[in-house]
Amino acid sequence: MFGDTGDTGARGVPPPDDVLAGLLARAHRAVRAGDGPARALPPDTVGLFGLDALTLSALTRDGRPELLWADPPRGLGVELDALQYAIGDGPVWQAAHEGRTVNEADLDTVDTARWPLFLPVVVDARARARAVVALPLNIGSATIGVLTGYRVTPGPLTPDRLASLHHLARILLLALVTQLAVPADGTTAEGGLRVHHAEVHQATGYLASALDIPLSQALLRLRAHAAGDGPITELARAFLTHRLSPDTLQR
């Protein structure tokens, strides 16, 4: 599994800790200011994590992980995510529907029964991957997206790089819940994306940013407030339409 031993990474020697820390700090500020991953993250971010491709997917209404962002924007990651979307099988699907990290340092050693449709295809030279790590983006028990990293060579990520990838996942979770807005009339958001209880997820991201608190704490406050003030979806909609101020949850 990733994180068991050291590595020099798919793109060479590991970057200094302060390089990754600085990138993550800048990305967090950009996301809180309303930027999506394409603006918050510079090109070739993937190389700093010792990976060859990074993708961000959001779950559609029917539970399919639909690609939102990739680094690089073409090639390995885009092809493999598109494949999994089409066949309904693979590590992205498993992370999305089990809500837990999928972490394989050598796909050649994975039992084909685990991903019977996906594994035979990844031997294709045009979409060759030898290692994968897929991190579910969770709010409570709900998974709303997946951050996936691919490598063309087998081997684990270092613990520091894996920890940084989890940090990036938390940042992109905030981006996801603030970018996937649901119109006040309840129609499907642009791009056809609509997650289960989307108003709650989006309100959680909005409140976390407005109050400068973790997503988990924002969700807890929202739930606690809803216990006395009606259904949580109605309360979330009140925040999103600015009928209630985020300061309400400070009281």
Residue-level pLDDT, tens digit, the chain, 251 residues = 443 334 544 555 556 668 889 999 999 999 888 888 989 999 889 999 999 999 999 887 777 888 889 999 888 998 898 888 878 899 999 999 999 999 999 999 999 999 998 998 886 645 689 999 999 999 878 898 999 999 999 999 999 999 999 999 999 998 888 765 444 344 333 333 334 355 676 787 788 888 888 776 777 787 777 755 556 677 888 888 888 888 888 76
* pLDDT on residue 127: 61
User: CA–CA separation, 146 vs 136, rounded Å?
Assistant: 4
User: CA–CA separation, 240 vs 202, rounded Å?
Assistant: 8
User: Do 85 and 64 meet the contact criterion of CB atoms below 8 Å apart?
Assistant: yes
- The pair of structure tokens assigned to 33 is 């200011």
Report domain extents, the chain: 17-177, 197-250
**Torsion, CA 9, CA 10, CA 13, CA 19, rounded to 10:** -90
Q: SS3 for 218?
A: helix
- The pair of structure tokens assigned to 221 is 């406050």
User: CA–CA separation, 235 vs 228, rounded Å?
Assistant: 10
User: CA–CA separation, 238 vs 251, rounded Å?
Assistant: 17
| pLDDT digits 0-9 by tens, 130-158 | 999 999 999 878 898 999 999 999 999 99
Residue 115 is given by DSSP the state S
- The pair of structure tokens assigned to 217 is 């704490």
The CA-atom distances, in angstroms, between 180 and each of 24, 51, 176, 202, 220 are 21, 27, 6, 7, 20
* pLDDT on residue 180: 58
The CA radius of gyration of the chain, in Å to the nearest whole number, is 19
17-177 topology per CATH: Beta-Lactamase (3.30.450)
pTM: 0.71
User: Do 10 and 43 meet the contact criterion of CB atoms below 8 Å apart?
Assistant: no
